[in-house]
Chain A
Amino acid sequence: MLEVKHICAGYGKREIAHDISFTVNGGEILTFIGQNGSGKSTLLKTLAGQIPALSGEMLIEGKNVSEMKRNDLAKLVSALLTDRPKTDMMTCRDVVETGRYPYTGTFGLLGDKDKEAVREAMEITDTEKLAENYFREISDGQKQRVMLARAVCREPKLLLLDEPTSFLDIHYKLTFLELLDRLRRGRGIAVVMSLHETELAAKISDTVLLLKNGYCTGLGKPPELLGRSVLTEHFDISAELYSKYYG
């Protein structure tokens, strides 16, 4: 589904993530694990096309991303990033509907198929009740679910999520991950995300990519990579400190 080959990411001349390569298949979840500033967000932004890759290439379903039309790419990939949209007088439904953008015509009007995708996405993210509320007036956790509905209603092949659980309480954190699990099983969506909760990442991810100072320090199955010794070293925590809080 997604093949990343020797991608270097950063802003202008400042390279932040170096020579990253990995592959994700449909229905799989790959999670970036790393400290703040390790390059997770930069990498996700590059994958999402927000900033151009400094070098390397990305293939989606075998096609080189740099050769694809913007609109075609947008149909395949949707991203849920950390910045919030500026919504002024938009209701939550309006915000979710913007997810269907690549499918709509000249004036961006939604057809029946689009409306059905929006309805379904709002149903599975439990945001139907918020539909007529102004987006700016709901809580951070609710916003996050609305934004997920927006990303999902596009019916993408690849979902990119930057710290998707950070505003959520434990209830929605777990239902969010449960939802991701259902999406990848049901729709075969490939997910690439960054997550701070290592114990949750270990449960849900098929593959984990450890990032430290912009370098990939490990790529593989979570049980090995997210064990105590790797984690303490990766996050620069002493064994005592780790034991005190994680046992």
Chain B
Amino acid sequence: MKKRILLSFVLLSTLTVISALFGISAGSADITPDQVLRIFLGGGADDTAEMILLKIRLPRTLAALILGGALSLSGYMLQTYFHNPIAGPFVLGISSGARLTVAVTLILAAKGAIALNSAFMAFAAFVGALLAMSAVLLMSSKIHSMSLLVVCGVMIGYICTAITDIIVNFADDSDIVNLRGWSVGTFSGFRSESLVVCAVIVFAALTAVFFMSKPIGAYQLGESYAVDMGVNIKAVRIAIILLSSLLSGCVAAFAGPVSFVGIAVPFLVKMLFGTAKPMIMIPACFIGGGVFCVISDIIARTVISPSELGISTVTSVLGAPVVLMIMLRKNKDNVGS
């Protein structure tokens, strides 16, 4: 058991390093590994290559690592909260809610000629994620079927996306230059300021979640057992909602919609590690989500190079079949018991 966990961590870390290196080297401009090495060691390479590497590819790869991890972790928390393996920030409409408030904020800021900083964007997304989450929670108090709840979440997502579209259509083109870019989802174009804001938010949330491993483990057993173990259920619930909203909101604000990572990765990670213990799952989901998104991003920018696919296109192709598999498995389990 312990050996498997250790091996899995080694495997995931190796994958992270390899995919990150590949992510930095791959792209439409030809930069040889030799040049990459020299740039990082501070040797003299030509300026264009250095620019591309440090200003474009490195931030992009880092963004995919950090935000991919955030998405996966957010999905893991939502699955824990709802005791449902197919809950995730995208299917529950939380990502779309975050995008809506970010769109509104961007347009209002443009109208008032206010320069928005990244932290404020993240905050707007957090508020939107929380609003969508509240809508889902309200419905979950009335609906006890998990699959119906997911359908409701998808509807909330559609409503938010539709409203976003309407608002965007009525806005001046100049107001929404920043919006178009991420309405299809991408890890490109990160300014270092946004990257730092993302990193601070995500790593703070990751640390907080990790310190909640123990109560999360108790919560997973079900409410009555958590109470029996002396856990303050209300506090755990609120913490899960706030942290998962913060994480998925952050991704929605800076990378736009990235689908299915939050469901597929925690499942794959659980299968790989052969355990559901939060203390293992939390870091593993985070690393796994990063790897998944870096690889998806490499695919997105290389298959039809020099043009690019939306990141969601790739994550859907890779992730949606996994989600289907989870549902089929779950169905089989239900028949079995």
A residues in contact (CB < 8 Å) with B: 45, 48-50, 69-75, 78-79, 81, 83-90, 94, 98, 101-102, 104, 106-108, 136
Q: Which residues of B lie under 8 Å from residue A136 when comparing CB positions?
A: 337
- Distance in angstroms between the alpha carbons of A84 and B274 in the assembled complex: 22
Query: Would A86 and B221 count as touching, CB distance under 8 A?
Result: yes
Q: Which residues of A lie under 8 Å from residue B40 when comparing CB positions?
A: none
Query: Would B227 and A101 count as touching, CB distance under 8 A?
Result: no
Query: Would A106 and B211 count as touching, CB distance under 8 A?
Result: yes
Query: Would B211 and A49 count as touching, CB distance under 8 A?
Result: no
Query: Would B230 and A88 count as touching, CB distance under 8 A?
Result: no
- Distance in angstroms between the alpha carbons of A49 and B211 in the assembled complex: 25
Indicate whether A108 sits within 8 Å of B220 (C-beta atoms), given known contacts A74-B230, A98-B225, A102-B229: no
Indicate whether A107 sits within 8 Å of B279 (C-beta atoms), given known contacts A74-B229, A79-B228, A86-B83: yes
Indicate whether A48 sits within 8 Å of B221 (C-beta atoms), given known contacts A70-B232, A86-B83, A106-B211: no
A75 smallest CB distance to B (angstroms) = 8
In the complex, number of A-B residue pairs with CB atoms less than 8 Å apart: 68
A-B contacts besides A50-B224, A78-B228, 4 pairs, CB < 8 Å: A48-B224, A50-B227, A81-B224, A106-B214
- Distance in angstroms between the alpha carbons of A42 and B109 in the assembled complex: 55
Q: Which residues of A lie under 8 Å from residue B217 when comparing CB positions?
A: 98, 108
List the A residue with the shortest CB-CB distance to B274.
A89
- Distance in angstroms between the alpha carbons of A102 and B215 in the assembled complex: 11
Q: Which residues of B lie under 8 Å from residue A78 when comparing CB positions?
A: 228
A220 smallest CB distance to B (angstroms) = 30
Instruction: Say what secondary structure dominates the interface of chain A.
Output: loop
- Distance in angstroms between the alpha carbons of A200 and B274 in the assembled complex: 42
The 7 residue pairs across chains A and B that have the minimum distance between CB atoms: A74-B230, A108-B214, A85-B221, A101-B229, A70-B230, A71-B230, A88-B276
A–B complex contacts, Cβ < 8 Å, 13 sampled: A45-B224, A69-B230, A70-B230, A71-B230, A75-B230, A85-B221, A86-B221, A87-B221, A88-B220, A89-B270, A89-B275, A89-B276, A101-B230
Q: Which residues of B lie under 8 Å from residue A73 when comparing CB positions?
A: 230
List the B residue with the shortest CB-CB distance to A79.
B228
- Distance in angstroms between the alpha carbons of A83 and B227 in the assembled complex: 13
- Distance in angstroms between the alpha carbons of A86 and B223 in the assembled complex: 10
Query: Would A102 and B276 count as touching, CB distance under 8 A?
Result: no
- Distance in angstroms between the alpha carbons of A85 and B226 in the assembled complex: 10
Q: Which residues of B lie under 8 Å from residue A106 when comparing CB positions?
A: 211, 214
Q: Which residues of A lie under 8 Å from residue B232 when comparing CB positions?
A: 70
- Distance in angstroms between the alpha carbons of A74 and B270 in the assembled complex: 30
Query: Would B221 and A74 count as touching, CB distance under 8 A?
Result: no
- The 8 Å CB contact of A85, one of B211, B222, B274, is B222
